[in-house]
Structure 1
Amino acid sequence: MDRLVLGPAMAAPVRPSNDPLAAIRRRFLEMVEGYVLDVALHRREAETPAQLRPALAGIAMIAHRVSGVAATLGHEGLGETAAALDQKLTQALKSGPLNLREFDGMIVLFHSALSNTLDEAAT
């Protein structure tokens, strides 16, 4: 049986989770941790005109991945924010000229929602 070590020569049994999605939830949170950094990097890249389109496409891809899973795993707010950003960026990327200002507020909300999800999971 796995044990949680409390200190020298002290251990407590680790009880298996009754949550059948526990492993998937852990993996999702690990991905979210990476996405927090990736979104920040893409956002910074988007400030360079030559990088605007690929940077926004990167953010859209992350938002799309998150929107498809977040609500299922109990992160409804994150899922809704991700879906709205995914939809707006995907439409804009198809339609022509881009302006970072149009998306900046939603990107900040999405980044905050990702960070908040990690904070909530840590408590």
Structure 2
Amino acid sequence: MTALTLISLGICVPAASADPVDPDPFGYKDLTSMFVTPFDRGAFGENADKSIILSPYGTSRTIECASFHGQGWCRQFDHLGNEHDLYLVKVPTGSTEWDYRGVYVYNPF
């Protein structure tokens, strides 16, 4: 009934449009913008919501992360193109398990 009323009034409802489908929803994504080094301006101020990266490359090289079923992992490539894992250390910032700031540590090996 409502559809007929809208049509009779000449009101057009736009068709729904979806976001493009990610071909690899569980694959690595560039999340470099979500990281700061401890020496970056605002790392403990306006950027306190970002994770900290402890790496010889800081944020100058791409930081990629992936996740699946609540588990996540990150990596960074060195200047020779070798992949290095970034290990997460959770620094508590509140009273629950989910209140923490992520500190990702570069594994040189």
**TM-score by shorter chain over 0.5:** no
Larger fraction in strand: 2
**TM-score, length basis structure 1:** 0.27
Larger fraction in helix: 1
**TM-score, length basis structure 2:** 0.29
